[in-house]
Structure 1
Amino acid sequence: MPQLLVELFSEEIPARMQAQAARDLERMVRDRLAAEGFLPEAIKTFAGPRRLTLVAEGLPAAQADRHEERKGPRVGAPDQAIEGFLRSTGLNREQLTEKDGVYFAHLHKPGRPTPEIVAEMIEAIVRGFPWPKSMTWGTGTLRWVRPVHRILCVFDGEVVPFSIDGIASGDLTEGHRFMGARQSFNARDFDAYQDGLARHFVVLDPEERKERIMDAARTLCFARNFELVEDEGLLDEVAGLAEWPTPILGDMDPAFLDLPPEVIRTSMRVHQRYFAVRDPKTGFLVPHFVTVANIEAEDGGKAIASGNARVLSARLNDARFFWEEDKKVRLADRLEKLKGVTFHAKLGSMADRVARIEKLAAELAPFVRDDGQTAAKAVEAARLCKADLVSGMVGEFPELQGVMGGYYAEHEGLDPEVSDAIRDHYKPQGPSDDVPVQAVAATVALADKLDTLISFFGIDEKPTGSRDPYALRRAALGVIRILLQSRTRLPLRTFVSADLLAFFADRLKVLLREQGQRHDLVDAVFALGDDDIVRIVSRVNALDEFLKTEDGANLLAGYKRAVNILKAEEKKGPLPSGEPVDMAGAPPEEAGLINAIGHMEIESGKALAKEDFAAAMRELAALRAPVDAFFDKVLVNSDVAAERENRLRLLAKVRDAMGRVADFGQVTG
């Protein structure tokens, strides 16, 4: 079937916008094609420094005829309503049909040629494209991220004719801005388009550009017995800056290696878009870098490397100045300046925040490690943890907050645990980030994140939908990960409100679901009122393993059967109270379940007291056979009132005993 090829060619598109632009283009084209009754076999988009490209396979040559039955007002409705319906359909009253006292319009829309629909679609998409920032140029009204030069639009080997703000569609595109003898060429299908770009020094696919960068950069480093310091975010960016990416290995002044490695890497990354290089044996940086050029230079990149080295030296000289000046001022002497740094209009200054973190650290420390020293060190680290925000280096490189504080604390000769806590208290900042588990660092990191959560929930700045401007979801996940990895037994309810505790439950569900766990099991455990994350996760894991067994699945079914009977009886009146007894003449299965419940309560209680949740689940498993036998042989709703009441008390006993292990009513399986 025919193929649609579209290229929107412009001045340089910012690298940070390219991936989302490709997704937006695919979504908008897919939605508009679907609205016209088209279901393409495949749609693929590509984004690069100067072009957005889309190819759609399997479109028909023309739209199929469409028939629509549209429901109108009731017969006898006011004339105004009927006339409005007629205007919306383009019919007259005689053309309407009646069914069950309601008017219906039967509309026939003949299909249109696909190129006609495509022309309208592309113009609407271009004019309504959701760029984060856009501009106008010349005398036109079109807004785009950068001035548009060309529009290539070809369907089934033929140009789709249209014009947007004087830019006529065609089959012409161009290759690399500098390389190649002939820049522009014609393309009537995707294969010719992609091959033509490659001949004119353009790699269309961003994933291919990334592979090209990494392969060449690793090879350059390997040839010198070095190792590339890989950086996925930087790779994404440089792949969006060069159409023909060409890595070049450059040299830097070895004297700069006495700077903290994070400073060197950040300066390279932020200012110059360079990759750092290290010695694979020691892990230390070496005086080299990899830059990604957009051309293949005749001299092999020597001039480019030399020029970039000079620029890097200037940047690192600035960094050295900040480093040396910052070391002259103690962290404690910077605290006064935090009073002039606003944290949030409703939450005070950064100094106010530090005071809250310091207080929290003192309260949290005994739960992390109650040894008499952790609290004092954690309080000291908490007091100094934000001091580097007013340093010159962090002013230049905000990404280094915490990291530089750790270096400055180390330079002052502070306790290593304090220095490490200052450095790591922002961690974890993402799902792949390390978690601080050393006691002082874990304490300060918990205090920092809990203060963020408590403070913003306190002023009702909670996440809504996809909106989370203060990264509270990330903070809650950070607290959970620290508690789990440090095995800290923290009673959350002591520190947080009910709505914040529910927020933690939701975040825990997300974390466990990502690990393949069922969210309903988290509900089943949280319903017990527990607020110890470590214990909750242990219970959830044990419950999950139990329910995967045949005994667990069958006992759950028995539990739900018992609960359903009890609910039905509760509608008739209060359930009988008291303990079930072994009644004379009762079936042996009834007595067997009474004995089994009594034994299970004792043994599971011992297991729960020791937090041996696996053992508690094994005790539950022993109930499976007695419960099955009871429901198989015993009639709960006996005609004898005493028997019926005793059996209802027994079912309530089953429900309550199992409920001390988990709320099985929350389990959906």
Structure 2
Amino acid sequence: MEDLFVRKINDEDFYFIKKDSCAFNIKEFLKNQLEEMLKNFSWPKSMRWGTRKERWVRPIKNILCILDGEVIPISFAGITASNVTYGHRLLSQNQVFTVDTPKDYFNLLEKNNVILQQDKRKKFILDQIKDFSKKHNLQLEQNDYLLNELTGLIECPIVLFGKVNQEKSAELPKEVILSIVHTQQKYLALSDGQKILYFATVVNVKNDNVIKGHEKILEARLADAQFLISQDKKHNLDYYVNKLDSISFHGYLGSVQEKVKRIIALSKYIAIWIPHASLIKVERAAYLAKADLATSI
């Protein structure tokens, strides 16, 4: 510890130690390490493109790599690193610019309509939604997973708002509407606390015609759901329980109906040990537990 000394950098104190060693080429070292890292980087899902054998999460178009303002010429997937990168492919006409420092990288990208930081993009989306919600007295139906997914899709997110057709959705449960809006359409939902009145979609370029198209697609999805529910309501739940025999649960464990029989037996056994539990109600609840799997909706 006695060999340590303090040096101030940008008004912050850092500990240093002086050690004599043979000459060390940091740029060559980084070049070798980075190339090895890129070759062996593991993605949950990856792809190949063109005639290349290398794999990456998406096709690589450009590599930027600099140290102290100088290019470290790493090479991967047929591309050699440089000190240039690109702005938004539409909003900035894919403009090319030179990067000298990390600060330049963030600032120049943002000026060219690419918000690099994930948390900043998310805030940008939420701020637009909050302004619209405040104006129309609405609240966002929270879905963090979808919000994170949308944040990662768009470089400079523009939020467009569309109306949910109340005539098409009047008889649909709120949960069904949310499933369509969130899962099928990848929209964020805005409600007055009870009804879903608006949806928000995140796009790259603002276009009034785009939102009209989204509204029509959502109307069709809601109409489909209404039709499926009307078909399902033609039969009682016992009808759908009987259809579970044709749905396989597991190759070694039989059909879903056989699973239901096991659930009934287990539920009744547990109910015995619970004071005042109704065996009749428990058996009926277990019997109907998987009926929805045979419905259309």
**Equivalent residue for 2:5?**
none
What is the Cα deviation at residue 274 of structure 1? Answer: 0.7
Q: Following superposition of structure 1 onto structure 2, how do residues 11-22 of structure 1 map, counting pairs within 5 Å?
A: none
The verdict on how the C-alpha distance between 1:142 and 1:216 changes in structure 2, with shifts beyond 3 A counting, is same
The residue aligned with 1:207 is 119
Check the 8 A contact 1:64/1:112 in 2, yes or no: no
Q: Which residue is 2:36 aligned to?
A: 124
Instruction: In structure 2, give the amino acid aligned to 1:333.
Output: Y
Equivalent residues in 2 for 1:398-409, closer than 5 Å: none
Higher deviation after alignment, 130-139 or 228-237? 130-139
- C-alpha distance after superposition, 1:534-557 (max 9, x if no partner): xxxxxxxxxxxxxxxxxxxxxxxx
2:142 matched residue in structure 1: 230
Alpha-carbon shift at residue 182 of structure 1 (Å): 5.6
Q: CA deviation at 1:152?
A: 0.4
TM-score, structure 2 normalization = 0.88
Amino acid at match of 2:198: H
Q: Distance in 1 between matches of 2:197 and 2:170?
A: 7
Greater share of helix = 1
Alignment partner of 2:273: what SS? helix
Q: After superposition, where does 1:544-559 map in structure 2 within 5 Å?
A: none
Aligned equivalent of 2:232, options 318, 326, 333? 326
Aligned counterparts of 2:276 and 2:262: Cα–Cα separation in 1? 21
Q: Specify the alignment match of 2:280 in structure 1.
A: 376
Alignment partner for residue 197 of structure 2, among 279, 283, 287?
A: 287
Structure 1 residue 365: deviation in Å?
Answer: 2.0
CA distance in 1, matches of 2:227, 2:89: 39
Cα displacement (A) at 1:383 = 0.4
Cα offset, 1:356, TM superposition: 1.1
Aligned to 1:262: 175
Distance 1:233 1:64 in 2: 51
Q: Secondary structure at the match of 1:392?
A: coil
Residues 265 and 190 from structure 1, CA distance in 2 versus in 1: closer, same or farther, beyond 3 angstroms?
A: same
Question: Contact conserved, 1:276 with 1:285, CA < 8 A, in 2?
Answer: no
Higher relative contact order (CA 8 A, sep 6+): 2
Superposed counterparts of 1:643-658, under 5 Å: none
Q: CA deviation at 1:192?
A: 0.2
Q: 2:160 is matched with which residue?
A: 248
* Distance in 2 separating the partners of 1:203 and 1:328: 51
3-state SS, counterpart of residue 220 of structure 1:
helix
On the 8 A contact 2:164/2:219 being kept in 1, the answer is yes
Q: Amino acid of the residue matched to residue 340 of structure 1?
A: S
Whole-angstrom CA distance in 1 between matches of 2:41 and 2:77: 15
Q: CA deviation at 1:385?
A: 0.6
Letter in 2 for 1:123: E
Contact 2:63/2:80, CA 8 A, preserved across alignment: yes
Alignment of 1:467-482 (within 5 A): none
Q: Following TM superposition, by how much is the alpha carbon of 1:157 offset from its aligned partner in structure 2, in angstroms?
A: 1.1
The SS at the match of 1:131 is coil
Name structure 1 gaps, 5 residues minimum.
Answer: 1-57, 66-109, 394-669
Query: What letter is aligned with 1:384?
Result: L
Structure index of larger Rg = 1
Say whether 1:317 aligns with 2:223: yes
**Any gaps of 5 or more consecutive residues in structure 2?**
1-13
Q: Distance in 1 between matches of 2:109 and 2:80?
A: 21
Superposed, which structure 2 residues align to 1:454-465 within 5 Å? none
Going from structure 1 to structure 2, the CA distance change for 1:293 and 1:182 (only over 3 Å counts) comes to closer
Identity among equivalent pairs (%): 35
Q: When the two structures are superposed, what TM-score results if normalisation uses the length of structure 1? A: 0.40
Map 1:590-605; keep pairs closer than 5 Å. none
- Aligned position for 2:88: 176
Question: Counterpart in 1 of 2:247?
Answer: 341
- CA drift of 1:313 comes to 1.1
CA shift for structure 1 position 310: 1.0
Kindly report which structure 2 residues correspond to 1:368-517, keeping only aligned pairs within 5 A, or say none. 368-370=274-276, 374-393=278-297
One-letter amino acid of the structure 2 residue matched with residue 192 of structure 1: D
CA apart distance, 1:261: 0.8
For the residues of structure 2 that align with 1:169 and 1:183, how far apart are their CA atoms?
A: 18
Cα distance in 2, alignment partners of residues 131 and 195 from structure 1: 29
* Match in the other structure for 2:10: none
Cα drift, residue 64 of structure 1: 7.6
Aligned to 1:484: none
Equivalent AA in structure 1 for residue 78 of structure 2? G
Q: Deviations over 1:219-258 (max 9, x none)?
A: 1111011111121111111001111112222112111132
Structure-1 separation of matches of 2:180 and 2:20:
58
